[in-house]
């Protein structure tokens, strides 16, 4: 399975599925004043890539809420989220390059958006090809991190990020 969109490509290994999406701009209510409407329209939407070893539900948060609830112990979830181009090279995004090798010891049950029994997570902000990203990985069973991390590395190795064109964010 191949994913492609918004300057991101991934050839998914067997057992993985994924999606690339971009959040819709907040739709202001009809009675919203012009100022708020203009401000809302100024929201920047940026691509979000979700990769999982299980079926992704349609209703899920950008960091996987709603999806991670469905994970079995042997499952893994990967979220690659892009940020605004103005964030490139800020201290938070100072690290260079999408990590291809992960340290299983870095995974922790406390490094999760929402602590879930047995799960372990890891989060990393970085700049790749002139674009700012966050990589967030959730393992179904933190006790089996060594094996599950290798599986995640396989899919990370397949991700390619094209250089920034200005089209990725708006």
Partner 1 sequence: MTMAPVADQADATRSISVRVVDRLGRALAGKGLSRRRFLGRVAVVGSAMALDPIRYTLKPGSAYAQVCGSAASCSSGWTAFCCTINDGANTCPPGSYAAGWWRIDDSPYCMGKARYVIDCNRSPSATCSCRCADGACDKRRVCCNNFRYGQCNTQVAGVTEVVCRVVTCMLPWEWDASCNRTVRVDNRTRSHNSSCLPGRDATYIDLKYQDMGLVGSILGAATTSERDGAAGGRYRRYENGSIFYRSETGALAVYGAIDAVHRDLGGDTSPLGYPLTEVTAVGDGAGLQVRYQGGSIYLQTRSATPQPVFAAIDERYRAAGGPTGDWGYPTGTQRTGGGQIVTFESITLAMAAGGPAVEVADDVLAAARAADAGSSDAVGLPVAEEETVGGARLQRFERGLVVETTGGSLVAIGGDLAERYLDAGGPGGIWGLPTAAPTSVDGGRRLALENATLFAGPETGVRALSGRILEEYEDAGGPDGSLGLPTSDVVRVDNGQQRASFEGGAIVIEPDGSVQRLTRRTARRAGDVNGSGPDGTSRRTPRSPADLS
Q: Which residues bind partner 1 (CB under 8 A)?
A: 23, 25-26, 28-29, 32-33, 36, 39-40, 42-46, 48, 59-63, 65-66, 81-84, 86-87, 90-94, 108, 110-116, 121, 123, 125, 134, 169
Do 160 and 10 contact (CB within 8 A), yes or no? yes
Cβ 144 to partner 1, closest distance in Å? 20
Residue closer to partner 1 (CB basis): 108 or 158? 108
Residue closer to partner 1 (CB basis): 68 or 149? 68
Kindly list the strands in the beta sheet with 17-22, ordered across the sheet, starting from the edge strand earlier in the chain: 17-22, 47-52, 76-82, 131-139, 120-128
Cβ 2 to partner 1, closest distance in Å? 25
Structure tokens at 109: 């049950």
Cβ 123 to partner 1, closest distance in Å? 6
CA 127 – CA 111 distance, rounded (Å): 21
Helix, strand, or coil (residue 88)? coil
- CA 136 to chain CA centroid, nearest Å: 6
Spatial CA neighbour of 77 closest among 102, 57, 51: 51
Residue closer to partner 1 (CB basis): 42 or 55? 42
Residue closer to partner 1 (CB basis): 101 or 110? 110
Cβ 111 to partner 1, closest distance in Å? 5
């Amino acid at each position: 399975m191949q994913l492609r969109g918004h300057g991101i490509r991934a050839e998914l290994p067997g057992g993985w599925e994924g999606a690339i999406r971009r959040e819709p701009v907040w739709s202001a209510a009809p009675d919203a004043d012009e100022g708020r409407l203009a401000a809302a329209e100024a929201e920047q939407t940026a691509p979000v890539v979700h990769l999982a070893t299980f079926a992704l539900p349609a209703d899920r948060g950008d960091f996987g809420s709603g999806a991670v609830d469905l994970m079995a112990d042997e499952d893994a979830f990967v979220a690659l989220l892009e940020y605004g181009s103005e964030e490139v090279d800020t201290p938070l995004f100072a690290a260079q390059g999408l990590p291809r090798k992960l340290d299983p010891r870095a995974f922790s049950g406390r490094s999760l958006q929402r602590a879930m029994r047995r799960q372990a997570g890891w989060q990393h902000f970085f700049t790749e090809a002139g674009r700012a990203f966050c990589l967030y990985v959730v393992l179904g069973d933190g006790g089996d991190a060594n094996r599950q991390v290798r599986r995640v590395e396989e899919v990370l190795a397949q991700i390619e990020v094209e250089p920034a064109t200005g089209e990725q964010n708006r």
